A and B are shown apart, each in its own frame.
Chain A
């Protein structure tokens, strides 16, 4: 009797074939067309113009399906630049909260990683990971557009792998 019960519980927890297929489909869609939103929480613009440069003809991030998006409510990936200032902290949290699950955070630039050259100022909270859980870090001051593309591509790759393993 108890063994049967046990079996039943396991049965419920395991996703059915359909659920699995649905999840695979979702991941496939997410990996192939992630929408990103960009938030500047106190950067010097250096990182921001490089992010913008990745969207322009020479680098063209859109060819791997990435689209820069205006509203956090439609975005999958939050790309953050700069150290987090006390003023921008609330806004950053609010933007993150408005994004639908599952969501990923990419920190771009030395500042986003640790506060960088501004570390120790009275108005700086620190790097992005003081405020939000960060999934990918892209170092550099600023990182080259190639580095940013590589960072995003690695994040997408890891999503795919997780799906295949799970």
Chain B
């Protein structure tokens, strides 16, 4: 009977695309054998908005606002990547003060993104207290972004050729105070994720990805760094202010969920340090420079380090006011492959944590299960499922 279950029935648990807590709709199908996942497939594309095509119909300045809205969490880094690419094509040099401000906003954004992630991932693990704590503290960095940019999300800091706003002394003091507070809180979070027994039960040794696997699967960002892969665009190909203010790489070779938690929290400290350093020696000068409306012909590839990993932009210009082609590849896309392969062999209950581990997030299960036997599909009610479960475990002699 046991082998019959294994060979004949592909037992599929569909998840998504609508789910209660969060964000991007994605559809997942997990093949399960009892509790254990034996295969995973992913269907994306529910939020495809045709941005790349739209960009070809608008001029560079309009496109800046369009690209900022690819993602509300890492909006600044998208706009920065596009602006830097266009500036390079146009051959203009952006004043150092503008680059420093871009870097500060980028790091504040990383702080907000990592704290958001910490909360969401904790929530997926059933640790709602940590979720509420980290989101409460995240409001501090949201306030900072609002004080300097005027908006909480989509701060619109960039112009092509510079930035829109300056950071004056009172804002500088506010930022310093804010990150002092966050520094303290982040220490507490680090202690929690590394010492809370129940939480460690969900993270330690779960979803282990060795360094070799991470390299083969093309993982990027904190997910890769938690597996010991030294990959960070801020160091490999410094852009905006990162050449003047280098970052220190945070690496961990444990490769499990716990490592992904601690890498991201340690990166918070790195961001705090970087912001303090930039603020202590801000270059003086202009905030922006003139860029022609028509960008000279050419093409360029630009990589930046978004909070989730390497973000890749390709821009091709044909000498007019509008780009001929823009291609964007986001870090989450690179990390999906790692989830699909990591899932196999883990319990179904670990799936939300594993998915959250790479930082797109999600939770719910559709309450309907379809059993596929070759080409017939059959729908089971909860009662049938319960009976099936009882039979199955009897076969396995797990329960009497």
CB-CB under 8 A from B36, the residues of chain A are: none
Main SS class of interface, B: loop
Q: What is the bound-complex CA distance between A95 and B364, given in angstroms?
A: 14
A69 touches B18 (CB 8 A): no
Count B-side interface residues using an 8 Å CB cutoff: 41
* Interface residue A82 (Cβ < 8 Å from any Cβ of B): yes
CB-CB under 8 A from B131, the residues of chain A are: 56
Count of chain A to chain B residue pairs whose CB atoms are closer than 8 Å in the complex: 122
CB-CB under 8 A from A154, the residues of chain B are: none
B153 touches A118 (CB 8 A): no
B69 touches A87 (CB 8 A): no
Q: What is the bound-complex CA distance between A47 and B45, given in angstroms?
A: 19
Interface string of A140-157 (1 = CB under 8 A from B): 011010000000000000
CB-CB under 8 A from B69, the residues of chain A are: 44, 46, 116-118, 141
Given the interface pairs A46-B72, A49-B73, A87-B45, the reply to whether A120 lies near B20 with Cβ below 8 Å is no
* Interface residue B57 (Cβ < 8 Å from any Cβ of A): yes
Given the interface pairs A49-B153, A91-B17, the reply to whether A58 lies near B136 with Cβ below 8 Å is yes
* Interface residue A52 (Cβ < 8 Å from any Cβ of B): yes
* Interface residue A45 (Cβ < 8 Å from any Cβ of B): yes
* Interface residue B334 (Cβ < 8 Å from any Cβ of A): no
CB-CB under 8 A from B136, the residues of chain A are: 56-58
B75 touches A46 (CB 8 A): yes
- Contact among B17, B18, B49, B72 for A121, CB-based, below 8 A: B49
B132 touches A88 (CB 8 A): no
Minimum CB–CB distance from A58 to chain B (whole Å) comes to 5
* Interface residue B300 (Cβ < 8 Å from any Cβ of A): no
* Interface residue B327 (Cβ < 8 Å from any Cβ of A): no
Give B186-223 interface residues, CB cut-off 8 Å to A.
none
A38 touches B20 (CB 8 A): yes
* Interface residue A43 (Cβ < 8 Å from any Cβ of B): yes
A-B contact pairs, 8 of them (CB 8 A): A41-B46, A45-B72, A46-B73, A57-B132, A71-B367, A91-B18, A123-B49, A144-B152
Closest 7 A/B residue pairs (Cβ) = A46-B72, A70-B20, A56-B135, A121-B50, A45-B72, A46-B153, A57-B136
Taking beta carbons and an 8 Å cutoff, which residues of A are in contact with B? 37-50, 52-53, 56-58, 68-72, 82-83, 85, 87-88, 91, 95, 116-118, 120-124, 141-142, 144
